[in-house]
Amino acid sequence: MKGFALLIFALGSICVEAYIVNPGPKYVATKGAVWPKPQEQELFETFFTINPAAFKFVVDSSTCNILYNAVRRYEEIISNQRLSKLKKKQSKHIVAAPDDDDRYLGQIDQVQISLNEICDDTSYPAFQADESYSLNIAIEESTITARTVWGVLRGLETFSQLLYTGEDGSSTRVNATKIRDFPRFPVRGLLLDTSRHFIHLAQIYQLLDAMAYNKLNVFHWHIVDDQSFPYVSMKFPELSELGAYNSVEFVYAPDDIKAVIEYARQRGVRVIPEFDTPGHTRSWGVSHPELLTPCDDIEEGSFGPMDPTKDSTYSFIKELFSELRALFIDPFIHLGGDEVDFDCWELDASISSFMTRENIRNYSGLEGYYIQKVIDIADELNFNSIVWEEVFNNGVKLPNETIVHVWRDWEGNYWNDTMRSVTKAGKKALLSACWYLDHLSTGGDWEKFYQCEPTNFGGTPEQVSLLLGGEACMWSEVVNDYNVVQRIFPRASAPAEKLWSAYDAAEPDLDEVARRLEEHVCRMNARGIPAQPPTAAGFCL
């Protein structure tokens, strides 16, 4: 009995120990750390103060609306810091650092912006645009220098992140710093699905702001799918009139899309539409059932993928895509091509006869036949194509400009095999397999996203050079206006840093990363982005 009591006491002690927690946040946030981490940064202990309410950026060359708007935007971000608001209530002046602190170098009133190229208001962020910049905060002068306006945008974001509250609790400080920075990959994207749940423009604008704060540069707009067709076509208005959840409230008119493209452009973000076919097209068939394959043998009144045997199918797609070409500025379009269910094709006698005539041996080959025709249509309209990996796996002859988007990760590291195959064939690739934001787990799941190294797929240096970057994907089955932004950020911040910052062969110091992410989340919150807490217990001022 005595032994039993001792055992119970011991077990109780173990349980108690398991719940002992220290007060305070799990990770103490950094101060003035940049996210994503710059390629090269020399950070000094000496520091300056600034008055957020009076601070200015000064452009020393010809400007344009993109640069002018960015300067005003970041001046407002800086002046609206909580510290500035508090001090306005308490004093007319920001309290300077103590004169007896030998690290203090004085106050900075402005940072000079030097743009090497002419800033053109007709330009849009382009594939492989130069986003490099240099930033110098020193006694002699403080400057942001870049060849293009897109590099200036990234430099402005970095400077805004260098500011922090001083140890005195009253001053806004910035350490003396030298930075030379540029992205590791040209494509750093976020996919948003707006079909499963409609996402209003206000949330899309929030996401574009957050993308700029994380130096993401491609908004992949998965605009339609099986469930709804919210795109308002001028040539085929019936697609949204009958296929959207609500043809008035839950649709994107051309002016809405133009507004999103312009909002993104001002932040250095490309907008690439995806119109996924031949699968994921049930909403198309509400108004145009002739486009789809009847599937009455499986369920009365049901339909499968698009019918690839009809010339009228391709004529319809060409007309729709010609409209998209005039509306969307970016030269790339995502053609989809994933998850095509062959059951309805297999049951259709006319499709079987067509395959016999065309000597198509299997249904993967039939999908390849369809995709090849759609790629040719896109090419004729001066679109460059992006396709999901199934298109490559089915043997479609892809033009050199076509990019293969690798997404499947069924066996843990399955994507490694696919990436090797794609790049061995000389095709350019994007990775999303390990960055699916709709796959949820408990707090801190950004760590698994951060630990995915996109180049570790076992390819040669030549194969690795064909990897253009990647995208974090938010499919919207369980997100809507009320939770989409916080589900995406800060979880998408992890791939954002992996795709921007320099490769490091060592295991990441996740404690150091977590401390920087804590600060970055608070920074986004202060700017109106409802990013969720990244890991565990903590707080933001």
Give the pLDDT score at 168. Answer: 76
The reported pLDDT for the residue numbered 474 is 98
**Helices 510-526 and 493-500: crossing angle, nearest 10°?**
110
Q: In three state form, how does the secondary structure of 187-244 look?
A: EEEEEEECCCCCCCHHHHHHHHHHHHHCCCCEEEEECCCCCCCCECCCCCCHHHHHHC
Q: Out of 339, 358, 453, 462, which one is annotated catalytic?
A: 339
Coil, strand or helix: which one is 150? Answer: helix
pLDDT recorded at residue 166: 87
Per-residue pLDDT of the chain (541 residues; tens, 9 = 90+): 555 555 554 555 555 455 778 898 999 999 999 999 999 999 999 999 999 999 999 998 778 999 999 999 999 999 987 544 444 444 444 445 566 789 999 999 999 999 999 888 899 999 999 999 999 999 989 999 999 999 999 999 999 999 999 887 788 999 999 999 999 999 999 999 999 999 999 999 999 999 999 999 999 999 999 999 999 999 999 999 999 999 999 999 999 999 999 999 999 999 999 999 999 999 999 999 999 999 877 887 789 999 999 999 999 999 999 999 999 999 999 999 998 889 999 999 999 999 999 999 999 999 999 999 999 999 999 999 999 999 999 888 888 889 999 999 865 678 999 999 999 999 999 999 999 999 888 778 999 999 999 999 999 999 999 999 999 999 999 999 999 999 999 999 999 999 999 999 888 999 999 999 999 999 999 999 999 999 989 999 7
CB 378 within 8 A of CB 321: yes
Q: Which residue bears the tokens 């064909």?
A: 466
- What 3-state class would DSSP assign to 268? coil
The enclosing H or E element of 406 equals: strand 403-406
How many CB atoms sit inside 10 A of residue 382's CB?
8
Give first-to-last CA distance, the chain, whole Å: 54
157 assigned to active site: no
For the stretch 391-400, contacts whose Cβ atoms lie closer than 8 Å and that sit 24 or more positions apart, written own/partner, are 391/335, 391/337, 391/367, 392/421, 392/422, 392/425, 392/427, 393/364, 393/418, 393/421, 394/364, 394/365, 394/367, 394/368, 395/364, 395/365, 395/368, 396/368, 396/371, 396/372, 397/372, 398/427, 399/375, 400/426
- Its sign, for the CA torsion 112, 117, 122, 126, is negative
Helix or strand run (H / E) with residue 326 = helix 311-327
* Strand 40-50 with 104-108, pairing: parallel
So what's the pLDDT on residue 21?
A: 81
Q: What is the pLDDT of residue 296?
A: 77
Helix or strand (DSSP H, E) at 172: strand 172-181
What's the pLDDT score for residue 62? 75
pLDDT of residue 5: 54
What is the predicted pLDDT for the residue at 7? 53
Nearest to 337 by CA among 362, 371, 372, 363: 371
Q: Is 349 exposed, middle or buried (0-12, 13-18, 19+ CB in 10 A)?
A: exposed
Hey, CA dihedral for 168, 530, 193, 433, is it positive or negative? positive
For tokens 């089955």, the residue is 477
Reported as a single tens digit per residue, the pLDDT across 193-206 is 999 999 999 999 99
Cα→Cα distances 261→201, 219, 221, 510, Å: 11, 9, 11, 36
Alpha-helix runs per DSSP H in 114-200:
149-162
Please count the other Cβ atoms lying within 10 Å of the Cβ belonging to residue 105: 18
